[in-house]
Structure formats: C-alpha cells, structure tokens
Amino acid sequence: MITRILPFILGISLLGFGCDPKPAETASLDSSTSTAGTTTAGSSTPAETPAETPAEPAKAEPTPADQTKATDKPPYADTVVLPTDVVVLETSMGTMKAKFFLDKAPNHAKNFVYLAKKGFYDGTRFHRVIKGFMIQGGDPNTKPGGEKNGPPGTGGPGYNVKNEFNDTAHLGGILSMARSQDPDSAGSQFFVVHKTAPHLDGQYTAFGKLISGMDVLEKIANVKTQPGDAPVEPVILKSVKIVKG
C-alpha cells in the first residue's frame, strides 16, 4: 500500500529515486515498490511526483485486500490520542521524537498510535532513503521473514486510511504518510522529510513533526544506499512508543 513517498508515498516506496535528487527530479512517494521495469502493488512509498521522471518507478494501485469498505469501522477508530502524546522512534542510529498534528490529521494520528501500540512497527526497516528528500519506513514486509508477503515497499496493515491532506508544508522533520496513486491508500508506511519538498504539499498527509532527533534524521539520510534506495547497511526501527510529554 506504500512503496515510495508517492510513487516520494506515498516515495508513504513506489519510486526509484536517485541518491541525491533535486526537488523537481525526485521520485514519487507511493505505497508500492517499483524496480526498473517492474511494479509491485500492495503498499505505499513516499513519492515526490507522478511517474513522470525516468528515475521514478511506476506507482501501483492498492490491492483489494488492502482496502477497507467505506461502511466498515476502521480498527483505529476508538484509539485515543492526546495533545501531549509524544512518539519515540528508537532506531539503530539513535532516537527521534515527534508530536502529532491532531488538528490537521486526527485519523492518521490515531492509526499511527494504534499500530505503534500493537508493536506493528517494531523491527521494521527504513527501506528507502534518499538524501535531500526523505527516509521511508513502516513496511511490515521489512521485518525478518516478512519478505514472504512481498518485497519491501509493498506491505501494509491490510486496510487504508482516508486522506487528510492539509496546509502543512513538507519541511525537514515533517512526518507524512506514503501512499499509492489512490489518495486514500495510506496504511502504515510513512516518511520523514529530510529537506524541504514543496511538491508534496497538499498531496500527502502530513501528520506530525520531529521535536528532537534531527541529528539522527541527518545520519540516516546520509547512509550509503544501493540501487532502489535501500541502505546498504540496514537501518532498523527498533521500536515506536507513545509516551506522555
């Protein structure tokens, strides 16, 4: 459901970006992962722009199993998120902390907290890192043994979250959701913006921002990557905890 936060997400894994793309040349953020010549549907990756640039993998639509019927009550519906809640992202390269934009993306905040409290994110990897653009993670397929469910960038929770596009600028440190071409295909994959990416504004749901750990974001964004933008040495999201601020 998320491959490149658009295939930039939405790239909230669907795109093949260069290691140091320029804003107008960066790939999309989709929830599906694409490699040269192939596209796999089922998840979301932050994508910078539509599949218009050669370096950007094609975006994939979410599969039926990933979609939640409009009449269904989403699993995160009853999750309580407080304005004082702080997200603690413990990675193999250090700790980042963030707060939610409850006034702009309440359902995305609920979904993130719901998944975090289930331990859904624990042990996943940042499978897509593009210096100057963003770092993307949240795909369960990146956990040990998860590859049996599909390649990195194509996994998700099995349901979608309706978009909550807002006026938040995608500046460095912003948390946003990856997705496929479908605006309402966000699931679990998210990305943290490394450098300002105005082409994502209003196209991806920004739901929070880092309040500490910008140095960690910088370290992750500068790791050596291989074709497909995956770090050569895995960057692990050890755990995601919700604590009171």
Q: What is the CATH number of the domain that holds 159?
A: 2.40.100.10
Q: Could you tell me if residue 232 is inside a domain?
A: yes
Q: Could you tell me if residue 39 is inside a domain?
A: yes
| CA gap 14, 19 in Å, rounded | 15
Mean of pLDDT values over 112-137: 98
Residue 245: pLDDT band (50, 70, 90) is confident
Task: Find tokens 């978009």 and name the residue.
Answer: 163
Which residues make beta-bridge pairs with 239?
90
Three-point CA angle 140, 29, 85, nearest 5°: 60
* CA 103 remoteness from chain centre: 20
* Percentage of residues of the chain with pLDDT beyond 90: 70
DSSP class of residue 12?
-
Residue 46: pLDDT band (50, 70, 90) is low
Residue 72: pLDDT band (50, 70, 90) is confident
Question: 173 near 190, Cβ under 8 Å?
Answer: no
Domain hosting 192: range is 23-61+85-244
Task: Write down the pTM of the prediction.
Answer: 0.77
| CA gap 45, 137 in Å, rounded | 8
* CA 221 remoteness from chain centre: 14
DSSP class of residue 45?
-
Specify the 3-state DSSP secondary structure of 64: helix
Q: Could you tell me if residue 11 is inside a domain?
A: no
Q: 46: which residues sit within 8 A by CB, 6+ positions away?
A: 2, 4, 5, 6, 8, 9, 10, 11, 12, 13, 15, 28, 29, 30, 128, 134, 136, 176, 178, 189, 191, 200, 204
Q: Could you tell me if residue 74 is inside a domain?
A: no
Decide if pLDDT at 43 tops 60: no
Three-point CA angle 65, 66, 71, nearest 5°: 90
In the chain, the number of structural domains is: 1
Decide if pLDDT at 5 tops 50: no
Q: Could you tell me if residue 89 is inside a domain?
A: yes
Q: Could you tell me if residue 115 is inside a domain?
A: yes
Decide if pLDDT at 68 tops 50: no
Residue of 127 and 48 predicted with greater confidence:
127
Decide if pLDDT at 171 tops 80: yes
Q: Could you tell me if residue 3 is inside a domain?
A: no
